[in-house]
Amino acid sequence: MPRRNIEDRDDPRHLDRRQWLSALGLAGAVTLAGCSGNGGDGGDGSDGSDGNSSDGGSGSDELSQEEIYATAAASSFSTLNPIYNDENGAGNAIARALDLGYTFDEENEYVPLLYDMSTEDGEVWTFEVREGLEFSDPYGEVTASDFVYLIQEVHQSSWASSVASASWDGVTVEETGEYEFQATLNTPQLLWPESYDPQLYPIPQGLLEPYVEEEDTEGLRQDEELLELQFSGNLGPYVLDEWQRDGGTRYSRNDDYYLQDADDLPDVFDEAPYFEEAEIRVIGEQASRLGALETGEVDTAAIPPNQVEAYQNNDEIYVNQIPQPYNEKISVNMRDNGWTTGPGNMFRHVPFRQAMASAIDKEGLIQGVFRDFAETHFTWQPRFSNFYPPEEDIPQFGVGDSYGSEVARGLAEDAFEMSEYDYRFDGETMVGPDGNQVQLSLYHSAGQNTEQLMADFIAQELGENLGIDVSVEAIDGTRFNNEYWTQTDFPTPETNEEGEVTNVPEELVDTVNGEEVEWTQPAATNPGPRNVTSNESWDMEVVFGLNTYPRNPLANSVFFEGANPLYNPVGYYPGFDAEQLFQNARQATSQEELADALIELFANLAEEQPYIMLTFPDSTVGYREGLEGPIENFSNGWNLPAWRYGE
């Protein structure tokens, strides 16, 4: 298969994105590296399950530990449906049994898996589907028509609301051969693969057709073949044998894995995968996860920063420090069910969010909680990104002269003047219109010790420097996602037979920066204006970290392109013309121009603090001694099917 034909593909500036957060990247803030195909590392979320069972399932009693690849996760999965999953941890579970279209290796080079991509001009892209791909019976061979049908009838439909819908908006797709199709973009994008927009799972057309004909969204979400990955054929290194809804997943080796016959990958793939079985074990308690790693019940587990040194001296375990793009930040709820302390949501005022950022000692957080395995986070990129702006171009809240009670209270008072309600300081205490102290809640994932320490640190800092009474509350990650973070019961626009919007309900209209904005494509992660809310009220959370997409920062449009991007659970309305800045970046004709165009965007995001940016933790991941394959690189896990124990 030909490689991508891009004139400047050897330029060291590379860009990244995955539509399902991991969102698209919804993800645990500290990732557990070791999952291939998704463009990011595996997730280490959090869950309250005890998950300590070491039962390897059918046949496992006869297998040695080195014949079962087991990983420890902290939370269960809300779905394994590839069309609707937007959680990083579940993406890891899916990837054991079902590859995505492509990945990037340790040199950040494009690696075709299910298909290769090429272009002459960045506008018309040719997809060449690898031959020999097979679905499970009765669906037969994977061809171009399966991908084209998925795009046109699901991702581009008005009814399905798939997580990849925004990726294919405005893209014209045409089948041009049995194993070839073309995608034409509205605007040329030389780095479209790095955006992860063209990432596709293979889904049988025959499986989708009944739901497409009936426009049955709920049926498609709950289809057992999709939820159990029963159609996966030879398309992943393992076959999913069991998904315990409140537990983990178990797999057996896929003897027919298609990459065994690939002649465009390293020879180590010829016998992949190297384990007879695989498991993802949900172990809610951190101590239990680490105990499982120590005893060899699992082969890899995230190591909390405060215990890295101890494991570095353990002969049975080695620890990799892996830079990653998921941030630690405080999400503040700017929707109508946020700021539960009283009237007038102060989170909506930029100076107040700046005050919060200034009240939290980033360097103290890194030293005290992350044991220096993290970097300060000022704007929506990690420093290893080739698009990180010059430090002098962005404000640096939370360090030096921009940290402390004096600067934080000054910014808060600026915000008070913007509010129609009487918020003020009474001595050292911030009080509301009723004269009582401002009281806010901060959620973190149950079972995540590092997250709890971080939440406690934040609560203390906001108390000391802003006089806010913050209550720290642990919650199951899946429950928070379903009841607090997202909303599936939201108003929808009226459409005609062609799928064109004919009427937008009043609830989906708001005035933003003096202009009327309509939510014509509400989604669970942005169900409408601020008046459309999740089922449960909440103030702040550190349950989820978000991807900053350092390979392709343009992918951050899903968060910040105006008031109604695909992913906006917090109800952030940019106070600057974010849409125009993204458009300027898209129209850049070289990577250098693109980098220049993004500086203004990142400067504005640093100024507005749509999320209160704190740190970029490294992934500190422990592996059993002798496991070959992991790398200390952002692309760690790209070759997971070839991981193995040495001779």
Q: pLDDT tens-digit profile of 539-597? A: 999 999 999 988 888 889 999 999 999 999 999 999 999 999 998 888 776 667 777 88
Q: Note whether 601 and 472 are same-domain residues.
A: yes
Q: Note whether 147 and 283 are same-domain residues.
A: no
The yes-or-no verdict on residue 180 having pLDDT over 80 is yes
Q: Confidence class of residue 21 from pLDDT cuts 50, 70 and 90? A: very low
Contact 590, 190 (CB under 8 A): no
The boundaries of the domain holding residue 148 are: 97-220
pLDDT score recorded for residue 48 = 29
pLDDT score recorded for residue 64 = 65
497 in any annotated domain: no
18 in any annotated domain: no
144 in any annotated domain: yes
Query: Which of 197, 220, 243 is at the close of a domain?
Result: 220
User: How many domains does the structure of the chain reveal?
Assistant: 3
Q: Note whether 176 and 297 are same-domain residues.
A: no
Percent of the chain with pLDDT over 70: 89
Q: Confidence class of residue 37 from pLDDT cuts 50, 70 and 90? A: very low
Q: Confidence class of residue 88 from pLDDT cuts 50, 70 and 90? A: confident
Alpha carbon of residue 168 to chain centroid: 18
Q: Note whether 595 and 485 are same-domain residues.
A: yes
386 in any annotated domain: yes
Q: Measured on CA atoms in the order 325, 330, 332, 333, is the torsion positive or negative?
A: positive
Distance CA 544, CA 329 (A): 8
Please state the rounded mean pLDDT for residues 375-396.
90
116 in any annotated domain: yes
Query: Which has more pLDDT, 36 or 407?
Result: 407
Contact 35, 243 (CB under 8 A): no
23 in any annotated domain: no
The yes-or-no verdict on residue 38 having pLDDT over 70 is no
Over the Cα atoms of the chain, what is R_g? Answer: 24
Distance CA 115, CA 106 (A): 19
Q: Note whether 243 and 214 are same-domain residues.
A: no
Q: Note whether 77 and 185 are same-domain residues.
A: no
Distance CA 358, CA 92 (A): 36
Q: Note whether 329 and 468 are same-domain residues.
A: yes
Query: Which of 157, 192, 220 is at the close of a domain?
Result: 220
Q: Note whether 468 and 594 are same-domain residues.
A: yes
Please state the rounded mean pLDDT for residues 101-124.
93
The yes-or-no verdict on residue 645 having pLDDT over 50 is yes
Q: Note whether 407 and 301 are same-domain residues.
A: no
Mean pLDDT over each residue of the chain, to the nearest integer: 88
Q: Note whether 445 and 299 are same-domain residues.
A: no
Distance CA 149, CA 207 (A): 11
Query: Which of 220, 251, 271 is at the close of a domain?
Result: 220
The pLDDT tens digits of the residues spanning 397-407 come to 999 999 999 99
Q: Note whether 152 and 182 are same-domain residues.
A: yes
Q: Confidence class of residue 53 from pLDDT cuts 50, 70 and 90? A: very low
33 in any annotated domain: no
Q: Nearest-5° angle of CA 497, CA 499, CA 504?
A: 110
Please give the full DSSP string across 183-206, using - where no structure is assigned: EE-SS--TTHHHHTTT------HH
CA distances 647 to 66, 355, 601, 644, Å, are 11, 56, 51, 9
Query: Which has more pLDDT, 611 or 57?
Result: 611
Q: Note whether 179 and 275 are same-domain residues.
A: no
- Which CATH number fits the domain that encloses residue 167? 3.90.76.10
Q: 35 Cβ partners below 8 Å, 6+ apart?
A: 41, 42, 43, 91, 92, 95, 96, 637, 640
- Which CATH number fits the domain that encloses residue 247? 3.40.190.10
3 in any annotated domain: no
pLDDT score recorded for residue 389 = 85
